[in-house]
Amino acid sequence: MPSAAQKHELESNKLAKRLRRNAGRAIEDFNMIEHGDRVMVCLSGGKDSYTLLDVLLSLRRSAPVDFEIVAVNLDQKQPGFPAHVLPDYLRDLGIPFHVIDEDTYSIVERVVPRGKTMCGLCSRLRRGILYRFAREHGMTKIALGHHRDDIIETLFLNMFFGGKLKAMPPKLRSDDGAHIVIRPLAYCKEEDIAEYADQRAFPIIPCNLCGSQENLQRKQIKAMLREWDKHHPGRLETIFSALQTVSPSHLADRSLFDFRSLGNGRDNGSGRAVKGWLIPSDDELA
C-alpha cells in the first residue's frame, strides 16, 4: 500500500501532467506558438500567470518547435505592491524578464469616482502599455493566463449585460492588428490551477492592493456558475464544448448566415429584400 506522501505525490504528478496536456492541446489546436516565436508571458503575480509561465517552461523542453520565453511584469505603483517578489522569483528561475514601471494607479484613482470599481480602466491602461512594450521589443506573441472558467464567465457576462453572444477566444489579433494574443490555459480548469499554485507554493501577490473590489457583475456570474457546477457536475464542460460547436444557421445573426437566400427552390427572386413588412401605425390602420 502506498503511503499518504506517495499518494500525494502521485496526485500532484497527475495534476501537473493534466495541465501540461491541456495547455499543449490548446497550443496545437489553435497554432498558438510557432518556430522562432518570442513569447511575452504577462505576469501579474496571481495564480494563473504563475501557472502559465511554469507550464510553458515545462512544455518548451519537449516542444516540436524552438521558441523564446520572456516574462514581463507591469508595476502599476499600487500602494504596498511588493516590487521585489517577482524579480526575485524570476532571477531564481534564470529566465529573461522585464519589469515595466508605469504609475497607472494614480491615473485610475484620479479618473474613477470613489467607491466605483477600478478594474475596467486599469485593464485598458495595462493592455496599452503591454502592447507597446511588445511592439518595441519584437515580441511575436503575447501570452495571458486566462483559463476555461474565465472564458465561460465572459460568455455569460456578454450575454447578460452586453447583449452579445461573445466570449474570450484562445487566440486573437489585437484591434490594431499589430499583436497576436494567446491563452494557452484555455482548456484548463480554474480549480486545477488553484490547486497547482498551492502545490508549487508560488509567491502570490493579491490583486486588491488598490482597494478596488472585483467587478460585481463578474462576481454574480462566478457565483451562478459555482452553483451550477455544485448541483450539476459536468455542466461547465458542456457549456465550453458548446463554444467549440457553433451552428450559425441556428442563431439569428444575419452577418454570419445568409438567411435571405433561403427559399423553397422556385425562381421567385428569393434573396432580394422585399420592403413593406413593417407593422402599420395606428393612424395608418384607421
Q: What is the pLDDT along the chain (286 residues), one digit of tens a residue?
A: 677 676 777 888 999 999 999 999 999 999 999 999 999 999 999 999 999 999 999 999 999 999 999 999 998 888 888 989 999 999 999 999 999 998 877 777 777 666 666 667 777 888 889 999 999 999 999 999 999 999 999 999 999 999 999 999 999 998 888 899 999 999 999 999 999 999 999 999 987 655 555 567 888 999 999 999 999 999 999 999 999 999 999 999 999 999 988 876 665 555 666 777 777 776 655 5
| All three cell numbers of 234 | 459536468
Question: What residue spans define the domains of the chain?
Answer: 9-245
pLDDT of residue 282: 67
Give the contacts of 224 (CB within 8 A, at least 6 positions apart). 156
pLDDT of residue 116: 65
Hunting for cell 504563475 — which residue is that? 50
131 C-beta neighbours (distance < 10 Å), count: 19
pLDDT of residue 213: 53
pLDDT of residue 265: 63
User: What pTM value is reported for the model?
Assistant: 0.87
| All three cell numbers of 224 | 451562478
Nearest to 31 by CA among 243, 180, 241: 180
Distance CA 62, CA 23 (A): 13
pLDDT of residue 208: 64
List helix spans (H) across the chain: 4-29, 47-60, 85-93, 104-111, 119-136, 148-157, 190-200, 216-231, 235-243, 282-285
pLDDT of residue 276: 75
Lateral strand order in the sheet of 141-143 = 97-101, 68-75, 38-43, 141-143, 180-182, 171-173
Local structure of 109: helix, strand or coil: helix
- Indicate the class that CATH gives domain 9-245: alpha beta
Torsion angles phi and psi, residue 169, rounded to 5: -70, 150
